[in-house]
Amino acid sequence: MKKAVLIVLDSVGAGYLPDAALYGDEGANTLRHVAESVPLQVPNMRALGLGHIPGLAIPPDEKAAGFFGRAAERSKGKDTTTGHWEMAGVILSSPFPTFPDGFPEEVIRPFEEAIGTKVIGNKPASGTTILDELGEEHLRTGYPIVYTSADSVFQIACHEALYSVDKLYELCRIARRQLQGPFGVGRVIARPFTGTGKGAFTRTPRRKDFSLEPVSETILDVLKASGHDVLGVGKIEDIFAEKGLTGSVHSAGNPACTQSTIDYLHTDFDGLLFVNLVDTDMIYGHRRDPVGYANALMDFDRRLPEILSLLREGDLLIITADHGCDPTYKGTDHTREYVPVFGRIIGCPSLVNLGDRASFTDIAATIADYFGLPQRFEGISFLNEAKGGRL
């Protein structure tokens, strides 16, 4: 019985990519700038090699054991879905569409007809700002708030007193069915909220993402077809449209997702545990809060020994990210960055430098290799390197 654990620290970038200027992101470095802004105490991640990744301003642990490196994103884009799909083996040749001026009439009109009511908003906005701007009008009229961002998303916000969560989810399913082809955004997102007025509106944890299905086979599909368990924690089930999973816990927030990870590790599964820890992105990155960002990383670091204690000799742990979201950078958008790739094969005493990997798909290739599967998803496995080597 073998376990591979893949933990995605959402948005924890490791330095801008060579093509970052095309995205307006030259100079971004999420981990470095967080570490320079706040004393970042992450001894347990450093013990796996994080501090040996160049350019992060995180001191190396000379006694570290594990593997470390960075991975570049080959796909076009810098969003959650693109990053997760690529690490699972899917490379996108073109980015998901974005709508910096709001959605055109040929999107909004059919959606209003399908749901039987007008919508308000229809522009890029911060999720908290638009509630202050339009929340009271929504309460007065009952019109759903539709908005987007710099990411490829169609977001629908409704007050839970007017729209039950199930009803809001149904609005999102209607939008998901309609948003295909040139309007095929990566995610339709339900944004339920509560509160009585401007300054008092609060988004609830019952957010749900409705993604497109992956356009080709992923490591999740391959593992499931070969009889292995494939377990998701957090928004993994949303990102992959529940495809390829044999079990899932849709916990909300890092503390709950970390606990769900630990709960799964107490069970005897044979396969992949795929975890997304979203708070660094959703709560702190987009809101440009380096202090909160650092605290979220340190909170995870404090739980990491418990995760490691539940792994057996030979088990594989990979910690990575899906894109950047430098909280010291301009705007509130994701940033086009390398992602860290570090971890350990339990029982291997060496510290191994994986270098800069050409694609996130190397993660899928490594997991396939670990389970003895032939598929490599255009990636290059680093399994043999992770088993031992020299700096």
Give me the CATH number covering residue 290. Answer: 3.40.720.10
Secondary structure of 104-128 in HEC code, one letter for each residue: CHHHHHHHHHHHCCCCEEEEECCHH
Mean of the per-residue pLDDT values for the chain?
95
Coil vs helix vs strand at 167: helix
**C-beta separation of 277 from 9 below 8 A:** yes
Distance of CA 35 to the CA centre of its chain: 21
Q: Are residues 225 and 354 in the same domain?
A: yes
37 touches 291 (CB < 8 A): yes
Q: Token pair of 106, please?
A: 């040929």
Whether residue 87 sits in one domain with residue 33: yes
One domain, residues 368 and 268: yes
**pLDDT at residue 172, as a whole number:** 97
Tell whether the model's pLDDT for residue 328 goes beyond 80. Answer: yes
Among 179, 211, 243, which residue terminates a domain? 211
Range of the domain at 148: 105-211
Residue-by-residue DSSP string for 279-313 = HIIIIIITTT-HHHHHHHHHHHHHHHHHHHHTPPT
Q: How many independent structural domains does the chain possess?
A: 2
Residue 240 · residue 86 · CB < 8 Å? no
- Which residue's entry shows tokens 């995610």? 187
Q: Note whether 269 and 144 are same-domain residues.
A: no
Residues of the chain above pLDDT 70, percent: 99
* pLDDT interval class at 97 (50, 70, 90): very high
| 240-284 pLDDT tens trace | 999 999 999 988 899 999 999 999 999 999 999 999 999 999 899
Q: How far is it, in rounded angstroms, from Cα 144 to Cα 165?
A: 13
In a domain, residue 100? The reply is no
189-210 average pLDDT score? 93
pLDDT band at 361 (very low <50, low <70, confident <90, very high): very high
- Closest C-alpha among 128, 108, 130 to residue 119: 108
Contact 153, 186 (CB under 8 A): yes
74 in the same domain as 125: no
| Listed residue (233, 235, 301) closest to 273, CA to CA | 233
**Do 218 and 365 contact (CB within 8 A), yes or no?**
no
* One domain for residues 167 and 277: no
pLDDT at 194: 97
Same domain? For 145 and 158 the reply is: yes
Q: Which of 161, 195, 211 represents a domain boundary (last residue)? A: 211
Q: What is the mean pLDDT of residues 349-370?
A: 97
Q: In whole angstroms, what is the distance from residue 112 CA to residue 90 CA?
A: 33
Query: Residue 306's pLDDT is what?
Result: 98
Same-domain check for residues 121 and 255: no
* CATH number for the domain that contains residue 202: 3.30.70.1250
Element of type H or E holding 169: helix 165-178
Residue 391 scores a pLDDT above 60:
no
pLDDT of residue 93: 86
Q: How far apart are CA 137 and CA 285, in angstroms?
A: 28
Same structural domain, 186 and 253? no
User: What backbone phi and psi angles, to 5 degrees, belong to 228?
Assistant: -90, 155
- Kindly give the pairing relationship between strand 202-203 and strand 187-194: antiparallel
- Asked, for residue 267, whether it belongs to a domain, the answer is yes
Pairwise CA distance, residues 286 & 329, whole Å: 10
| Phi, psi dihedrals of residue 216, rounded to the nearest 5° | -150, 180
**Residue 302 confidence (pLDDT) above 80:** yes
Q: Which of 327, 355, 343, 331 is nearest to 31 (CA)?
A: 327
pLDDT (0 to 100) of residue 390:
40
Q: Dump pLDDT digits (tens) for 211-231.
A: 899 989 999 999 999 999 999
- The Cα-based distances of 300 to 9, 83, 136, 276 in angstroms read 9, 21, 37, 12
Kindly provide the residue ranges of all beta strands, DSSP E only, lying in the chain, ordered along the sequence. Answer: 3-9, 66-71, 120-124, 145-148, 153-159, 187-194, 202-203, 208-211, 229-233, 247-249, 271-277, 316-320, 339-345, 351-357
And the tokens for 132? 């202050």
Band of pLDDT at residue 330, cut at 50, 70 and 90: confident
Amino acid at position 148, single letter? T
Same domain, 258 and 381: yes
Highest mean pLDDT: which of 79-83, 299-303, 374-378?
Answer: 299-303
- CA dist., res. 152 & res. 169, Å (int): 18
What would the mean pLDDT of 54-66 be, rounded to a whole number? 95
